[in-house]
């Protein structure tokens, strides 16, 4: 009897002081640069458990005034590297909310570079102001994105510093008098990679928005790309994201195509710069549907790779938009569709007098890129902190 009523008392008590535990995903399963959810409202005593997804993120406290800089004496999880494709037992880091003041958070990866995760919008807040108020979450995120934009602009102007002109942010394509956005400046990163009990150090060129240099597995994944499927002048998928060691297997399905490496500013000619000659599959004519030829390349770096089909008979396939990209930065002006537009502009109808406006197949073939499917997993658990109460009553 006594025990029962004590239990009831403890339970009644616990309801009024129960702490809520908020789960927040840090980054997405496929490398999304975001916290999910992006903002929560919590009471003193509540806990926030951060779950670190693949890549190498942090949970670092900043301030509204300086969204991408550390707050003096603020909280910081430090870097938490997680191998690609890890989905189970993600590392976690927990904070306790002590009051109702806002807590501003960002990921400090690649700080002060155009690849800054914070500058790309990877920010989070506890108890931010309501929508429409000066310290709302959207104002905080806008401020972080503005930091990113100015970092990119600074990198672009320092790259193009040779030309003093104010319009130094656009360059001209190799031919055709078309202005194109400048190249992003890569940063040389030396990283120790641990994967399946192997550890090694790698130095690679990291580009803004490029995937981590951590291979998906020791052998790499095989990613299949069809060439000329359904008799169309397309690579499918037209752009992919790949990690070092991944094998891209091109399967030729129709006609007589190639996979040839080019560069962003010269999309329809084989790369040949400073002694680097781009890869080329050679022509693969499909004569028999039973044995489709394949041709493979191995990805060595996370730098963007641009490619096209160099068939020109009867019309330029590249000019019809038959181009392909690996690790293009979709957050930049040098994204896949910009590359495809440039190919069409330089080698398309403008260059071949024949009005072969090939049914605009290129526009339709581009898939909705980078769908940010952030799993809204704000599973809210209630933790009963009755133990202490029970013991104090006893």
Ligand X SMILES: *[C@@H]1O[C@H](CO)[C@@H](O)[C@H](O)[C@H]1NC(C)=O
Contact stretch for ligand X (CB under 6 A) within 8-16, 63-71, 162-170, 308-316? 308-316
Residue 71 CB contacts under 8 Å (≥ 6 apart), including other chains: 61, 62, 63, 104
Q: Which residue, 145 or 247, has its beta carbon nearer to ligand X?
A: 247
CB burial string 121-146: b at 16+ within 10 A, e below: bbbbbbbbbeeeeeebbebbbebbbe
Q: According to the binding rule CB under 6 A, does residue 187 interact with ligand X?
A: no
Closer to ligand X by CB, 143 or 180: give it: 180
Interface pick for ligand X out of 26, 143, 297, 307 (rule CB under 6 A): 297
Token pair, residue 47, equals 């806990």
Question: In 39-102, which ranges are E strands?
Answer: 39-40, 47-52, 55-57, 60-62, 80-82, 92-96
Q: Decide if residue 175 touches ligand X (CB under 6 A).
A: yes
Q: What pairs with residue 324 in β-bridges?
A: 307
Residues 329-388 within binding reach of ligand X (CB under 6 A): 331-333, 335, 337-338, 341, 346-347, 351, 370-371, 373
The one segment of 9-17, 137-145, 154-162, 265-273 that binds ligand X by CB under 6 A: 265-273
Return the number of the residue (67 or 244) whose C-beta is nearest ligand X.
244
By the rule CB under 6 A, 100 interacts with ligand X: no
Residues sharing a CB contact under 8 Å with residue 349, sequence separation 6 or more, in sequence order: 319, 355, 356, 357
Torsion on CA atoms 318, 320, 322, 324, rounded to nearest 10: 80
Which letter does DSSP use for residue 231 in this model? G
d(CA 298, CA 309): 18
> Using the rule CB under 6 A, is 217 a contact of ligand X?
yes
Residues near ligand X (CB under 6 A): 29-30, 56, 75, 79, 81, 85, 95-98, 103, 109, 175, 177, 191-192, 216-217, 221-222, 247, 249, 256, 268-269, 273-274, 279, 283, 285, 287-289, 294-300, 305, 310-313, 316, 318-319, 331-333, 335, 337-338, 341, 346-347, 351, 370-371, 373
């Amino acid at each position: 009897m006594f025990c029962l009523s004590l239990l009831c008392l403890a339970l009644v008590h616990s309801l009024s002081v129960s702490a809520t535990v908020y789960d927040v995903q840090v980054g997405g399963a496929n490398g999304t640069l975001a916290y999910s959810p992006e903002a929560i409202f919590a009471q003193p005593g509540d806990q926030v458990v951060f779950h670190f997804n693949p890549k190498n993120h942090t949970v670092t406290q900043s301030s509204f005034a300086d969204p991408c800089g550390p707050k003096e004496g603020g909280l910081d999880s430090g870097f938490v590297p997680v191998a690609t494709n890890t989905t189970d037992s993600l590392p976690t880091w927990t904070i306790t909310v002590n009051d109702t003041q806002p807590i501003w958070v960002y990921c400090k990866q690649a700080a002060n570079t155009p690849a800054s995760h914070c500058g790309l919008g990877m920010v989070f807040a506890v108890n931010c102001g309501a929508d429409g108020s000066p310290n709302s979450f959207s104002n905080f995120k806008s401020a972080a994105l503005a930091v990113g934009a100015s970092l990119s602009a600074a990198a672009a102007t320092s790259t193009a510093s040779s030309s003093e002109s104010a319009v130094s942010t656009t360059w001209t394509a190799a031919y055709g008098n078309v202005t194109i956005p400048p190249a992003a400046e890569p940063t040389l990163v030396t990283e120790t990679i641990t994967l399946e009990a192997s550890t090694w150090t790698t130095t690679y060129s990291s580009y803004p928005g490029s995937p981590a240099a951590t291979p998906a597995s020791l052998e790499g994944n095989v990613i299949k790309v069809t060439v000329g499927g359904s008799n169309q002048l397309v690579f499918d998928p037209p752009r992919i994201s790949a990690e070092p060691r991944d094998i891209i297997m091109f399967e030729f399905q129709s006609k007589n195509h190639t996979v040839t490496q080019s560069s962003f500013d010269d999309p329809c000619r084989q790369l040949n710069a400073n002694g680097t000659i781009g890869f080329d599959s050679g022509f693969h004519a499909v004569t028999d549907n039973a044995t489709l030829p394949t041709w493979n390349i191995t990805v060595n770096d996370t730098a963007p790779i641009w490619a096209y089909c160099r068939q020109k008979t009867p019309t330029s396939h590249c000019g019809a938009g038959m181009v392909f990209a690996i690790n293009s930065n979709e957050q930049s002006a040098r994204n896949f569709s910009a590359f495809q537009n440039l190919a069409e502009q330089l080698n398309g109808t403008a260059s071949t007098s024949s009005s072969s406006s090939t049914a605009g197949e290129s526009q339709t073939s581009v898939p909705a890129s980078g769908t940010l499917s952030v799993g809204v997993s704000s599973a809210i658990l209630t933790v009963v902190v009755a133990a202490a109460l029970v013991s104090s009553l006893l």
